[in-house]
Amino acid sequence: MLRSHHCGALSESDLNQEVTLAGWVQKVRNKGFIVWVDLRDRYGITQLVFDEKRTPEAVFKKSAELGREDVIQIKGTVIERESKNPNLPTGGIEILATELTLLNKAQTPPFTIENQTDGGDELRMQFRYLDLRRNPVRENLIHRHRVTMAVRNFLSQAGFIDVETPYLIKSTPEGARDFIVPSRMNNGQFYALPQSPQTFKQLLMVGGFDKYFQIVKCFRDEDLRADRQPEFTQIDCEMSFVEQEDVLSQFEALIKHLLSEIKGVELSEFPRITYAEAMEKYGNDKPDIRFGMIFGNLNEVAKGKGFNVFDSQELIVGIAVPGGANYTRKEIDNWIDWVKRPQVGAKGLVWVKCNQDGSYKSSVDKFFNQQDLGEWAKVTNAQAGDLIFVMAGDTLDTQAQLSALRMEVAQQMDLRNADEFAALWVTDFPLLEWDEETQRYHAMHHPFTAPKNEYLELLETNPEKVLANAYDLVLNGNEVGGGSIRIHDTQLQEKMFSLLGFSETEAKEQFGFLMDAFQYGAPPHGGIALGLDRLVALLGGSETIRDFIAFPKNNHGRDVMIDAPANVTDDQLEELYLKSLPKDPS
């Protein structure tokens, strides 16, 4: 071992000990006759002192030449510091150095290795190995390690078995786009990387494993929206002989355990709302419930008053911004501009100030009298001093737009506190959604999700009305997990594939093994998958998953540090019986 102690270990109880330390030079302060060096490693910082009088001459001379990030080993004696630093565990001592070995000379790094660095995002990604030396980055990843260990131990103790499922599987067109892997031994054929181990975990249930979990990499070849990665990590779970309630209570317990273990936060029972209720109250199926501004439906009280803009609309809906009556006209105009941005896409915003004296002032005073506006205040639960924002239009668009406004207002009012946690379950999702473009149904969750028993008959007549045994776990306005009770019956699964537009041949070709498996005694089963990257980020007080991934890719799916993807040799392609085509110039 090149050290007797690490750099966070020594304190006043170690005085006069002879020690050997190794680490990186964080800082050098050279006073001419004395040189102080901050030596850093993963565990902390220890101050070294090289003293003209007390340090051997050659060593002292060498110490003056040290530069930032040099890797050194020193021997010396633990002595008491003259001016102690109470903020540092090692702040009471320093090491009077007697030997100094330069283990590796460092070039000056392209950015400072400090909590607040001067390096931009791109530079930090290119030199990620240097970025990893910064405390906040390292702490994020140690936090990730703690979370995964807590998850594994919790699930293992709850009887779940960690089973590794294969990475080289088969491409299926349902869902997102697969990454594919040419097979050399099976010319012209390809493996696919899993988008999730869905079918394998269901087969494990057919195989009698009863409770399965895995923390597993999944892959989706999608155009990357902000903060999405082509490879991501999932806490994947499945249980047999369960109903929805069993899955919910098991994983509610897991999330509570994590919050308690990692954050010291004790949550009480998670609220549950249906998808329909979530859309109605928050315009969003992953509502942030740390704050109010619950949607009020104004259809009944705002239509038929001669305001044409409203009368023809499917939905008129508003929220009450607490204390918003103080907004200046300019501030309100800024919000109107904000909702008109193409990212939000609203046509405009009607507003009503609820004055302290009980009167109302609105942008539509011409059409609505005080009593009308009082009704609006009632429906949106607005108090004196609040500001009501109202939008109107098609239901889905308007809900999405007002939800965006609600989140942004909360953000600006600091209502989205990263240290406060609010989780909920959203249940009763529709089984299918109609896709206008392809003129067919898509599975809202995935094709293996079971419809609720009481809706089975509607599958024939009104498939879009069928609700599913599907549920999402929402934390602080982020979907951190989703799951369902699965179909375990061959006929129902066949019916489902046919609703989704699969021909019998296609269904058999792609999922024949699963439908075969169901014929040999599949138990009722269900499960959930939690997005580990997102969960770790939220528990770490952030919504940026990239900060919690050691070697993330950029928005073009590139690793700029190792410069991947890259060209391969012609020999490699030939062996795979592949040819690269020139890029279409169009």
Q: Looking only at residues 246 through 305 of this chain, which bind a copy of itself when binding is defined by CB under 8 A?
A: 246
Q: Which of 399, 429, 427 is nearest to 284 (CA)?
A: 399
Biggest alpha carbon distance in the chain? 94
127 vs 367 by CB, closer to a copy of itself: 127
Rule CB under 8 A: is residue 36 a binding residue for a copy of itself? no
Rule CB under 8 A: is residue 208 a binding residue for a copy of itself? yes
Counting beta carbons within 10 angstroms of the beta carbon of residue 228, is it exposed (0 to 12), middle (13 to 18) or buried (19 or more)? middle
The separation between the first and the last C-alpha atoms of the chain, rounded to the nearest angstrom, is 60
Q: Among 66, 74, 93, 206, which residue interacts with a copy of itself (rule: CB under 8 A)?
A: 206
- Smallest gap from Cβ 457 to a copy of itself, in A, equals 21
Strands 423-427, 272-274: pairing is parallel
Rule CB under 8 A: is residue 115 a binding residue for a copy of itself? no
- Smallest gap from Cβ 393 to a copy of itself, in A, equals 35
What is residue 586's DSSP assignment? -
What DSSP assignment string belongs to 284-318? Answer: SSS---SS----EE-HHHHTTSS-HHHHT-SEEEE
> Count residues contacting a copy of itself (CB under 8 A)?
129
Rule CB under 8 A: is residue 479 a binding residue for a copy of itself? no
Rule CB under 8 A: is residue 15 a binding residue for a copy of itself? no
- Smallest gap from Cβ 275 to a copy of itself, in A, equals 24
Q: Near a copy of itself by CB under 8 A, which window of 124-132, 312-320, 415-423, 464-472?
A: 124-132
Rule CB under 8 A: is residue 167 a binding residue for a copy of itself? yes
Q: Near a copy of itself by CB under 8 A, which window of 89-97, 157-165, 258-266, 282-290?
A: 157-165
User: Is the four-CA dihedral 509, 513, 518, 523 of positive or negative sign?
Assistant: negative
**Phi, psi for 200 (deg, rounded to 5):** -65, -40
User: Please, which of residues 219-238 interact with a copy of itself by CB under 8 A?
Assistant: 219, 221, 223-224, 230-231, 233
Counting beta carbons within 10 angstroms of the beta carbon of residue 482, is it exposed (0 to 12), middle (13 to 18) or buried (19 or more)? buried
Quick check: 468 and 449 in contact, CB under 8 A? Answer: yes
- Rounded Cα distance between 92 and 229, Å, is 45
Q: Which of 375, 345, 342, 347 is nearest to 360 (CA)?
A: 375
Q: Among 517, 530, 535, 538, which residue interacts with a copy of itself (rule: CB under 8 A)?
A: 517
- Smallest gap from Cβ 8 to a copy of itself, in A, equals 11
Q: Among 96, 276, 444, 576, which residue interacts with a copy of itself (rule: CB under 8 A)?
A: 576
Rule CB under 8 A: is residue 210 a binding residue for a copy of itself? yes
User: Please, which of residues 39-68 interact with a copy of itself by CB under 8 A?
Assistant: 40-43
User: Please, which of residues 425-464 interact with a copy of itself by CB under 8 A?
Assistant: none
Tokens (6 digits) for 405 = 């406004």
Quick check: 213 and 165 in contact, CB under 8 A? Answer: no
366 vs 581 by CB, closer to a copy of itself: 581
Q: Among 44, 207, 348, 501, which residue interacts with a copy of itself (rule: CB under 8 A)?
A: 207
- Smallest gap from Cβ 311 to a copy of itself, in A, equals 47
- Rounded Cα distance between 519 and 571, Å, is 45
156 vs 462 by CB, closer to a copy of itself: 156
- Rounded Cα distance between 192 and 412, Å, is 43
Q: Among 50, 60, 154, 191, which residue interacts with a copy of itself (rule: CB under 8 A)?
A: 191
Measured between alpha carbons, how far is residue 20 from residues 28, 58, 81, 91, 342 in Å? 19, 18, 18, 18, 61
- Smallest gap from Cβ 522 to a copy of itself, in A, equals 5
Interaction mask 125-144, a copy of itself, x per CB under 8 A: --xxxxxxx----x--xx-x
Rule CB under 8 A: is residue 558 a binding residue for a copy of itself? yes
Interaction mask 484-513, a copy of itself, x per CB under 8 A: ----xx-----------------------x
